[in-house]
């Protein structure tokens, strides 16, 4: 049999400096150590059927990222968490395990938005005003992104509609809710650059933490752990 | 300690400037954290190359695990910061730090380098300087860490002797505890570095280079090596683990986050090698061969899998096919690994019916190539180097393999071997052709999966200390390149030349390696000069500069040809005669003469050659078989 499980995980501290592929390899090994009955692909070098909702960039922390894994037998959710957390190392842990319904959509395709908390280590005093300035703009243009060599530079992009919410918080933080996914994908670092521009370049952000990833259901956003959940 | 809050030595801004910040942040699975205040000795273990290379090294994992198993010792790791981080640290004046605690290296009691290849010597100076320490041992103070070197290059570490306080000769499992006890004793009763080093020099396998004067002859060769005190040994005998099954094995090795060169668990099945190939240093310095028991190995394999989660297990040794229990070991491992979906990789297996059968079970035949290391093209040369692999062995193995579906073959050779003629070099091309032709003879047209690919690679030969060729002259770069070109043109003349790809290594690196391998203490000035002129990461083609070395030899007034281009006379004293590897100079000279006569010497299992390592009283030397011990 095959059952798909969606794990919510966090990563904090020095381990944030590893890249996305390393994170994948880290989880593969953790699953191996945990003894969870992972399902393997066919072929000469079978591998675990594992996928991530949203690649975690180098240096990003998270409290709410998702990893989907196929198992060959069903295990109670609490038990899965216990087994995985028992073999995690510094700064990584899983906080939820959700058994998905059959034919659940792949996590990556579901991603519609994400929350972020930015730690402003310098110029935090400017944050509130900068946020207000940006939020009052009708249009926020950023570079169109990298272009292939020999092609014309891409036209600047307006990301204003992709900033669903943004506010300065106590303790030197800025909270953002940004659109993600195929239609429009806004990166927190790009938004920060705009904030910093508005603050006259006085701000420095030394950590971006993703708080949650959302899927769209009807017209509202629901955490990925709630999407495609198997009916109880 | 809440490790998610472990402090980092480098601020975010600087880490983000680095190509791979995770090289410098530590915290990997199975890395060891201790309370600095609760240990008596802090040991910083350095592999003087980039993180991914160093983390692939089993020896480091062994010593790291062993030292951390001592309650009073905390062993941490450091690697050479890659060129990007090197520049940043110099710019920002950041002292080099250990990965675990992120504390400066300079605050440790010991800084231990593992010396795996000569081309990392300049990186030792990089690490010392970035740590804020003087390069030369004589210029360092009482508070500086004791700088200690271990690993294969210590069998002649004279070119870097002036930078070190201690060389540890032989296998690390044996004497570190004694060294630490001595250090703690000295710390308790008022530590003076000089006194400690003097006492340390009396321990088995501990060589303190500053306590020996080198007396030279007028012709620059060595006249004698004189201990400065009567109570330290005239020669330093290597340490050998007598019972491998009882010694420490790292079944919970540190598992890097970033992909290391070896991304797999390593099971060392055996130490040493029974085959005395005359060019091979490893074969001599790790004598006598000692195999681990199959039950022990299975237990280690289980623990390794449980503790690491690796998806691949690699069997390691110099010559795994010679393990006496290999059949049973592989049967049991294959069962275990199939069940757990773990791949097995089997480097250094000799190709025969048995190994092909095993490989068929554990590898994808289509994707993998078959490797042979005949090392020389002609049978005459293979006798000279004592490589007991015949054309029949190779062709029989290849034929079986072709029938089994393989169609990629790799052949490894050396060029520049003592006594080599052009026809021996041409034989490389001919042998490659024979293997290719065999494919077309063996596999009917209808069953062929495209063309067979024979990849022949040749490296240039470097004579190494403690081998039969330690007396031999090396070829010049011009000779190397001429021979390689000759080989290439011969490949082009072969009937199946379209199926043969020929590569050869860089000749200039080989020359430097040759000088450092058999050099003496006078070379420290040259190494320093190369480093001062910007030389780091010499083991990497993109950072190595032959011109920089040539200029340094000239500026230091050194004739490097002295070290490589002359054949040494029998009675010459070598810089490495300070070391007793067990293998006697008499035996090696006998082998040098056998080589000149083209006489083959049998391996340890068939007949003891009386090499001298029998004095260690362990391993194969104690097993009954033909010949004199
Ligand atoms: S088989 Fe020969 S080359 Fe290989 S390790 Fe043994 S002695 Fe060295
Ligand atoms: S003493 Fe004999 S058996 Fe022992 S390592 Fe030397 S040659 Fe081999």
What gap in Å lies between CA A213 and CA A196, rounded to an integer? 25
Give me the residue label for tokens 């059952």: A3
Specify whether the CB–CB gap between B241 and B286 falls below 8 A: no
Cα Rg for chain B, rounded, in angstroms? 25
3-state SS, one letter per residue, for B493-520: HCCCHHHEEEEECCHHHHHHHHHHHCCC
Question: Which of B12, B255, B309 has its CB closest to that of A206?
Answer: B12
Q: Is the pLDDT of residue A10 over 80?
A: yes
Task: Indicate the DSSP class of residue B164.
Answer: -
Q: Please report how many Cα atoms fall inside a 13 Å half-sphere around the Cα of residue A30, on the Cβ side.
A: 28
Residues facing B560 on adjacent strands: none
Q: pLDDT at position B359, please?
A: 85
Give me the residue label for tokens 């063996």: B442
Q: How distant, in Å, are the alpha carbons of B201, B211, B380, B504, B523 from that of B228?
A: 11, 5, 47, 46, 22
Helix or strand or coil: residue A83?
helix
Specify whether the CB–CB gap between B474 and B565 falls below 8 A: yes
Q: Determine whether the interchain pair B305/A30 forms a contact, defined as Cβ–Cβ distance below 8 Å.
A: no
**CATH for B3-237 (3.40.50.10310, 1.20.1510.10, 3.40.50.280, 3.40.1640.10):** 3.40.50.280
Q: Is the pLDDT of residue B233 over 70?
A: yes
Tally Cβ neighbours within 10 Å of residue B377. Answer: 28
- Index of the ligand 1 atom closest to the CA of residue B281: 8
Whole-number average pLDDT of chain A = 93
Considering only CA atoms, which of B151, B152, B163, B154 is closest in space to residue B123?
B163
Q: Determine whether the interchain pair B21/A33 forms a contact, defined as Cβ–Cβ distance below 8 Å.
A: no
Chosen for mutation from A10, A15, A16, A17 (greatest number of chain B CBs closer than 10 Å) is A17
Average pLDDT over residues B289-317: 96
Would you give the distance in Å from CA A230 to the centre of its chain? Answer: 22
Chain B: residue whose CA lies nearest to A26: B257
- Please give the structure tokens belonging to residue A77: 């959710």
Residues facing B373 on adjacent strands: none
Specify whether the CB–CB gap between A208 and A173 falls below 8 A: no
Q: Determine whether the interchain pair B27/A207 forms a contact, defined as Cβ–Cβ distance below 8 Å.
A: no
For residue A32, the chain B residues in CB contact (below 8 A) are 305, 309-311, 340
User: Of A135-144, B505-514, B596-605, which gets the smallest average pLDDT?
Assistant: A135-144
Enumerate chain A positions whose Cβ falls within 8 A of a Cβ in B: 12-15, 17-19, 21-22, 25-26, 28-33, 40, 44-47, 58-59, 87, 89-91, 121, 204, 206-207
Q: Is the pLDDT of residue B2 over 60?
A: no
Q: Determine whether the interchain pair A32/B6 forms a contact, defined as Cβ–Cβ distance below 8 Å.
A: no
> Where are the alpha helices (H) located in B189-250, listed in sequence order?
193-200
Q: Is the pLDDT of residue B124 over 50?
A: yes
CB burial of residue B533 (10 Å; 0-12, 13-18, 19+): middle
pLDDT tens digits, one per residue of B342-395: 989 888 788 888 888 888 888 776 667 889 999 999 999 999 999 988 999 999
Q: Please report how many Cα atoms fall inside a 13 Å half-sphere around the Cα of residue A102, on the Cβ side.
A: 2
What gap in Å lies between CA B2 and CA B396, rounded to an integer? 59
Is the CB of B283 inside a 6 Å radius of any atom of ligand 2? Answer: no
What gap in Å lies between CA A208 and CA A57, rounded to an integer? 10
Q: Determine whether the interchain pair B259/A22 forms a contact, defined as Cβ–Cβ distance below 8 Å.
A: yes
- Please give the structure tokens belonging to residue A202: 């006085």
Instruction: Give B123 to chain A, closest Cα distance, Å.
Output: 25
Q: What is the CA angle B555-B560-B565, rounded to 5?
A: 160
What gap in Å lies between CA A128 and CA A120, rounded to an integer? 11
| Ligand nearest to the Cα of B611, by number | 2
User: Of A176-180, B89-93, B344-348, B525-529, which gets the smallest average pLDDT?
Assistant: B344-348
Q: pLDDT at position B1, please?
A: 45
What gap in Å lies between CA B301 and CA B70, rounded to an integer? 23
Is the CB of B608 inside a 6 Å radius of any atom of ligand 2? Answer: yes
pLDDT tens digits, one per residue of B178-191: 999 999 999 999 99
Is the CB of B609 inside a 6 Å radius of any atom of ligand 2? Answer: yes
Tally Cβ neighbours within 10 Å of residue A144. Answer: 12
Q: What is the CA angle A191-A192-A195, rounded to 5?
A: 95
The better pLDDT of the pair B266, B447 is held by B266
Helix or strand or coil: residue B45?
strand
Specify whether the CB–CB gap between B290 and B245 falls below 8 A: no
Q: Which stretches does DSSP call E strand in B434-488?
A: 453-460
Question: Which of A13, A18, A204 has its CB closest to that of B258?
Answer: A18
Measured between its terminal Cα atoms, the distance across chain A in Å is 19
Site to probe by mutation for ligand 2, drawn from B284, B620, B626 as the one with most ligand atoms within 8 Å of Cβ, is B620
Task: Indicate the DSSP class of residue A229.
Answer: B
What gap in Å lies between CA B602 and CA B276, rounded to an integer? 8
Site to probe by mutation for ligand 1, drawn from B275, B376, B583 as the one with most ligand atoms within 8 Å of Cβ, is B275
CB burial of residue A110 (10 Å; 0-12, 13-18, 19+): buried
Q: Name the residue with the closest Cα to ligand 2, atom 8.
A: B604
Phi, psi (deg, nearest 5) at residue B431: -65, -40
Q: Please report how many Cα atoms fall inside a 13 Å half-sphere around the Cα of residue B19, on the Cβ side.
A: 10
Q: Is the pLDDT of residue B492 over 50?
A: yes
Instruction: Give percent of chain A above pLDDT 90.
Output: 81
Q: How distant, in Å, are the alpha carbons of B344, B402, B432 from that of B398?
A: 22, 6, 11
Specify whether the CB–CB gap between B584 and B611 falls below 8 A: yes
What gap in Å lies between CA B130 and CA B267, rounded to an integer? 34
User: Of A48-62, B162-176, B181-195, B359-373, which gets the smallest average pLDDT?
Assistant: B359-373
Q: pLDDT at position B262, please?
A: 86
Q: Name the residue with the closest Cα to ligand 2, atom 4.
A: B621
Q: pLDDT at position A35, please?
A: 93
Q: Determine whether the interchain pair A29/B343 forms a contact, defined as Cβ–Cβ distance below 8 Å.
A: no
Q: pLDDT at position A146, please?
A: 65
- Please give the structure tokens belonging to residue B15: 């880490």
Q: Is the pLDDT of residue B78 over 80?
A: yes
Average pLDDT over residues B431-448: 92
Q: Please report how many Cα atoms fall inside a 13 Å half-sphere around the Cα of residue B215, on the Cβ side.
A: 6
Average pLDDT over residues B456-483: 97
In this structure, whether the domain defined by A3-99 belongs to CATH 3.30.70.580 is answered with: yes
Helix or strand or coil: residue A199?
coil
Considering only CA atoms, which of B119, B116, B157 is closest in space to residue B465?
B157
Instruction: Give percent of chain B above pLDDT 70.
Output: 98
Measured between its terminal Cα atoms, the distance across chain B in Å is 55
Helix or strand or coil: residue B396?
helix
**Ligand 1 midpoint to CA B276 (Å):** 6
- Please give the structure tokens belonging to residue A157: 């992009």
| Ligand nearest to the Cα of B625, by number | 2
Q: How distant, in Å, are the alpha carbons of B16, B443, B504 from that of B127?
A: 22, 55, 32
Q: Please report how many Cα atoms fall inside a 13 Å half-sphere around the Cα of residue B563, on the Cβ side.
A: 25
pLDDT tens digits, one per residue of A114-146: 999 999 999 999 999 999 999 999 999 988 766
Instruction: Give percent of chain A above pLDDT 70.
Output: 96
Return the domain boundaries, chain B: 3-237
What gap in Å lies between CA B19 and CA A57, rounded to an integer? 14
Per-residue confidence band for A149, with pLDDT thresholds at 50, 70 and 90: low
Task: Indicate the DSSP class of residue B247.
Answer: S
Considering only CA atoms, which of B462, B470, B460, B461 is closest in space to residue B575?
B470
Long-range Cβ contact pairs of B333-338 (< 8 A, separation 24 or more) = B333/B298, B333/B301, B334/B358, B334/B361, B334/B362, B336/B298, B336/B301, B336/B302, B337/B313, B337/B362
- Please give the structure tokens belonging to residue A31: 């699953």
């Amino acid at each position: 049999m095959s059952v798909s499980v969606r794990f919510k995980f966090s990563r904090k501290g020095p381990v944030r400096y590893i890249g996305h592929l390393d994170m994948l390899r880290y989880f593969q090994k953790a699953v191996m150590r945990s003894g969870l009955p992972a399902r393997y692909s066919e072929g000469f070098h079978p591998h675990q059927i594992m996928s991530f909702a949203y690649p975690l960039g180098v240096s990003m922390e998270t409290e709410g990222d998702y990893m989907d894994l196929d198992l060959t037998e069903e295990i109670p959710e609490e038990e899965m968490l216990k087994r995985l957390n028992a073999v995690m190392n510094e700064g990584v842990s899983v906080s939820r395990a959700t058994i998905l319904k059959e034919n659940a959509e792949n996590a990556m395709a579901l991603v519609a938005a994400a929350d972020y908390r930015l730690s402003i280590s310098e110029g935090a005093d400017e944050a509130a005003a900068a946020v207000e300035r940006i939020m009052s703009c009708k249009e926020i243009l950023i570079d169109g992104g990298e272009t292939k060599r020999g092609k014309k530079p891409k036209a600047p992009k307006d990301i204003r509609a992709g900033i669903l919410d943004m506010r300065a918080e106590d303790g030197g933080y800025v909270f953002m809710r940004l659109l993600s996914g195929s239609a429009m994908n806004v990166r927190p670092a790009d938004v920060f650059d705009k904030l910093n521009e508005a603050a006259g370049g006085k701000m420095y952000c030394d950590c971006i933490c993703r708080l949650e990833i959302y899927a769209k259901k009807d017209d509202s956003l629901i955490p990925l752990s709630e999407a495609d959940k198997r009916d109880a | 300690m809440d490790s998610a809050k472990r402090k980092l030595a480098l601020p975010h801004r600087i880490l983000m400037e680095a190509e791979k910040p995770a090289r410098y942040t530590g915290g990997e699975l199975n890395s060891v954290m201790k309370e600095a205040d609760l240990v008596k000795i802090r040991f910083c273990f350095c592999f003087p190359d980039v993180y991914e290379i160093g983390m692939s090294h089993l020896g480091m994992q062994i010593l790291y695990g062993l030292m951390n198993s001592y309650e009073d010792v905390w062993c941490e790791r450091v690697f050479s910061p890659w060129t990007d981080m090197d520049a940043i640290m110099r710019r920002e004046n950041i002292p080099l730090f250990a990965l675990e605690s992120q504390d400066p290296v300079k605050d440790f009691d010991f800084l231990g380098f593992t010396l795996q290849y000569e081309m990392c010597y300049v990186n030792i100076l990089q690490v010392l300087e970035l740590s804020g320490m003087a390069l030369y041992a004589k210029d360092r103070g009482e508070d500086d860490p004791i700088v200690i070197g271990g690993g294969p290059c210590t069998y002649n570490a004279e070119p870097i002797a002036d930078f070190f306080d201690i060389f540890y000769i032989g296998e690390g499992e044996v004497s570190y505890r004694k060294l630490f006890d001595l250090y703690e004793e000295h710390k308790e009763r008022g530590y003076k570095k000089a006194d400690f080093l003097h006492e340390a020099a009396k321990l088995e396998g501990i060589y303190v280079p500053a306590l020996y004067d080198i007396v030279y002859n007028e012709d620059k060769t060595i006249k004698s090596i004189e201990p400065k005190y009567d109570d330290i040994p005239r020669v330093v005998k290597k340490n050998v683990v007598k019972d491998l099954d009882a010694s420490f094995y790292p079944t919970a090795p540190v598992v890097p986050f970033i992909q290391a060169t070896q991304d797999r668990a390593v099971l060392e099945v055996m130490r040493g090698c029974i085959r005395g190939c005359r060019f091979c240093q490893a074969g001599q310095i790790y004598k006598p061969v000692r195999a681990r028991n199959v039950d022990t190995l299975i237990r280690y394999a289980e623990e390794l899998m449980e503790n690491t989660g690796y998806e691949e297990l690699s069997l390691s040794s110099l010559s795994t096919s010679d393990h006496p229990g290999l059949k049973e070991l592989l049967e049991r491992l294959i069962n275990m690994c199939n069940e757990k979906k773990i791949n097995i990789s089997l480097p250094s297996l000799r190709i025969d019916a048995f190994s092909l059968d095993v490989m068929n079970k554990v590898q994808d035949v289509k994707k993998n190539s078959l490797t042979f290391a005949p090392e020389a093209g002609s049978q005459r040369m293979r006798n000279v180097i004592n490589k007991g692999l015949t054309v029949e062995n190779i062709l029989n193995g290849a034929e079986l393999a072709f029938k089994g579906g393989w169609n990629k073959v790799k052949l490894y050779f050396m060029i520049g071997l003592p006594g080599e003629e052009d026809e021996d070099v041409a034989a490389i091309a001919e042998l490659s052709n024979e293997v290719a032709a065999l494919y077309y003879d063996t596999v009917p047209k209808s069953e062929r999966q495209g063309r067979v690919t024979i990849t022949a690679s040749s490296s240039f030969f470097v004579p190494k200390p403690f081998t039969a060729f330690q007396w031999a002259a090396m070829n010049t770069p011009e000779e190397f390149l001429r021979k390689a070109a000759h080989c290439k043109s011969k490949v082009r003349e072969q009937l199946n030349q379209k199926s043969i790809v020929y590569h050869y290594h860089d000749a200039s690196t080989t020359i430097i390696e040759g000088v450092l391998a058999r050099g003496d203490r006078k070379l420290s000035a040259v190494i320093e000069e190369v480093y001062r002129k910007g030389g780091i990461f010499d083991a990497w083609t993109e950072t190595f500069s032959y011109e920089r070395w040539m200029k340094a030899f000239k500026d230091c007034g050194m004739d490097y040809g002295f070290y490589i281009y002359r054949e040494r006379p029998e009675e010459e004293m070598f810089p490495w005669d300070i070391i007793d590897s067990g293998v006697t100079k008499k035996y090696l000279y006998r082998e040098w003469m056998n080589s000149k006569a083209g006489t083959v010497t049998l391996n340890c299992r068939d007949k003891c050659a009386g090499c001298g390592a029998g004095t260690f009283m362990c391993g194969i030397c104690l097993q009954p078989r033909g010949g004199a011990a």
